Structure 1
């Protein structure tokens, strides 16, 4: 009974479907409809398929057009950007070339470089010629010796012996002259080479400054606010270096520098010092005075100014005695004045030679010249003045030192106190046309003195 029910259901469904198709076939009256359904139904299906196909094609075309338009826009942006970058690069290169050309023209380095090339070429030619002459002379000398030996073997009389000895004396004299000439040539060659190398150093320094024309801010030199207090007169700790340049080159430092232990053997001076890298990548600097705020008064007595005071990681003055001892007789001492203005400017002034003496403990400003920078020259006019403090027994004590409450190299008239005092009350410091000064430092470094070549 169950098996019959299973077969009966699909048979009944098939009969109903065939009955529906058969009715349609009777209505349409052909065998095609009997097999595939009514023609109207097929047309509707074909119309729907065509409509769907057209919609898909249209949508694809719209998407393609959108992609093409986006691609054109991107290409236009890229080409425009490329043109702008090329134009900017060209303008920048032209400005840099003009600036370098102006700098080289100003310092007359271009012509100097050509002259040095000519000198080196001429020197090489002379050296080659002289070497050939020496070789020829040595050959002739050897031939003379051989000929003389043959002559001596062939003749045995006294006259021949005398000639041989005379010839031997001449040969020795020629050899000595050759030796002296060679030494003179080598000395001249070394002097020219030294001059050439020195000129190359000047050229390199000029070009380095041209590539990086004092592009710095006083904020680069501010000390680390969290650094420990290191008193000026404290005992130096750690490995000692002969100079700030040596200390910085042997350690990894930030551009704002740090405190190092120095031992300047030429002056038997052992001390801690704050060293700064040079902003133009030259030799490092030793800071001798710095003020970053008004927390430390510079209205102090003579012993403080003489021996130094303050915190090397803050406000300090390294001391007149230490500065004087660092005036090395075989070196030039350069001075760097750096200012920081509340509006953000960073004017500076470099001096190529700075010397103070200690005659009668006056610490006179013996020499200061070669001023160059953007702050203005406020020291050259003070050459020859002694360092005045408020306890010195002169008329100046009643004027500048007492009125400004600070030691400095004041003008000798006792009336005009000048505008270049970096030790006066911090909020009242002025330098040239600059005021509202919120940072100052004075720093020194040693450079080789120019070599004087004596031409005989």
Structure 2
């Protein structure tokens, strides 16, 4: 009877496992990625997983969702969208993407800490992961924006790091700017703490996150706001460049 009982339990568990929907949503993740209906922790995986998309995306590997693991900084593995470099350089870890209005970015502190959205579409990777990724090695930052006229501009910074929760995820390192989009971070947002509508950490008399319906490293509320309302308060250089259709923020280890 005991053997029959365990056999039935095994069959039921296998059925549940096979019927689960594999989802790459990062919304409201707290202790680990929800994969195949189970919450997996670091004990399940060894230290051989890549620590960045630059390590994950090698050879003929294509852009897509990969598993990363930073055992010194995070207790669990996590998923990230890895993007091939157009110039055959190291791959980029996308930490934010906006491509339509399906995901609301006007969210609270907890959501921005843990991450939200879907890695195949609109998402923010989470401040905890962003801090961890920028502590393993100094990163460079690539911001790309495309408007509805089809014009694409970009800004790159040769150094980028974000502080921890105690520092309110302040923009602690921001290197030299290059690209076609102009300057909209350095001198305006560098050194600033991250703010949401329920965590006012900016230097302005009012809450910039509430004013601009977003969340960002605000100082006096404007100049850039890439987590604002889609097609309403997405700012770069203190202006709306023909309404942004697409934006992303991506990082990779600086050589």
Q: TM over 0.5, yes or no?
A: yes
In structure 1, the partner of 2:225 is 421
Root mean square deviation of aligned Cα: 2.3
Match of 1:230 among 16, 21, 24: 24
- Using the TM superposition, give the Cα deviation of residue 267 of structure 1 relative to its aligned residue in structure 2, in angstroms: 2.7
Verify: 1:261 aligned to 2:41, yes or no: no
In structure 2, the partner of 1:375 is 181
In structure 2, the partner of 1:430 is 235
Match of 1:293 among 100, 104, 108: 100
Q: How many residues get paired?
A: 213
Match of 1:386 among 193, 204, 209: 193
What is the CA–CA distance in structure 2 between the aligned matches of 1:263 and 1:280, rounded to whole Å? Answer: 26
Partner of 1:409, secondary structure, is coil
What is the CA–CA distance in structure 1 between the aligned matches of 2:57 and 2:253, rounded to whole Å? Answer: 15
Could you give the per-residue CA deviations for residues 171-197 of structure 1, whole angstroms, max 9, x where no partner exists? xxxxxxxxxxxxxxxxxxxxxxxxxxx
- Using the TM superposition, give the Cα deviation of residue 360 of structure 1 relative to its aligned residue in structure 2, in angstroms: 2.0
- Using the TM superposition, give the Cα deviation of residue 406 of structure 1 relative to its aligned residue in structure 2, in angstroms: 1.3
What is the CA–CA distance in structure 2 between the aligned matches of 1:444 and 1:397, rounded to whole Å? Answer: 32
What is the CA–CA distance in structure 1 between the aligned matches of 2:148 and 2:235, rounded to whole Å? Answer: 13
In structure 1, the partner of 2:12 is none
Partner of 1:326, secondary structure, is helix
What is the CA–CA distance in structure 1 between the aligned matches of 2:230 and 2:198, rounded to whole Å? Answer: 21
In structure 2, the partner of 1:161 is none
Could you give the per-residue CA deviations for residues 314-368 of structure 1, whole angstroms, max 9, x where no partner exists? 1000011110011235x32100001111111110111000111125251111121
Distance 1:262 1:365, change over 3 A: same
Could you give the per-residue CA deviations for residues 39-84 of structure 1, whole angstroms, max 9, x where no partner exists? xxxxxxxxxxxxxxxxxxxxxxxxxxxxxxxxxxxxxxxxxxxxxx
In structure 1, the partner of 2:214 is 406
Contact 1:349 1:373 in 2 (8 A): yes
Q: Is the radius of gyration larger for structure 1 or structure 2?
A: 1
Partner of 2:113, secondary structure, is helix
Contact 1:236 1:272 in 2 (8 A): no
TM-score (norm 2): 0.76
What is the CA–CA distance in structure 1 between the aligned matches of 2:91 and 2:79, rounded to whole Å? Answer: 15
- Using the TM superposition, give the Cα deviation of residue 427 of structure 1 relative to its aligned residue in structure 2, in angstroms: 0.6
Q: Whose relative contact order is higher, 1 or 2, with alpha carbons under 8 Å and at least 6 apart? A: 2
What is the CA–CA distance in structure 2 between the aligned matches of 1:421 and 1:376, rounded to whole Å? Answer: 14
Contact 1:236 1:261 in 2 (8 A): no
Which is richer in strand?
2
Distance 1:250 1:270, change over 3 A: farther
Distance 1:249 1:362, change over 3 A: same
- Using the TM superposition, give the Cα deviation of residue 241 of structure 1 relative to its aligned residue in structure 2, in angstroms: 2.7
In structure 1, the partner of 2:151 is 345
What is the CA–CA distance in structure 2 between the aligned matches of 1:318 and 1:375, rounded to whole Å? Answer: 23
What is the CA–CA distance in structure 1 between the aligned matches of 2:230 and 2:159, rounded to whole Å? Answer: 27
In structure 2, the partner of 1:357 is 163
Partner of 2:236, secondary structure, is coil
Partner of 1:351, secondary structure, is strand
What is the CA–CA distance in structure 2 between the aligned matches of 1:353 and 1:303, rounded to whole Å? Answer: 26
Match of 1:332 among 134, 138, 142: 138
In structure 2, the partner of 1:446 is 253
Structure 1: gaps spanning 5 or more residues: 1-227, 449-456
- Using the TM superposition, give the Cα deviation of residue 235 of structure 1 relative to its aligned residue in structure 2, in angstroms: 4.1
Could you give the per-residue CA deviations for residues 208-258 of structure 1, whole angstroms, max 9, x where no partner exists? xxxxxxxxxxxxxxxxxxxx75112324689943321222215531xxx21
Which is richer in helix?
1
TM-score (norm 1): 0.44
Partner of 1:441, secondary structure, is strand
Distance 1:248 1:393, change over 3 A: closer
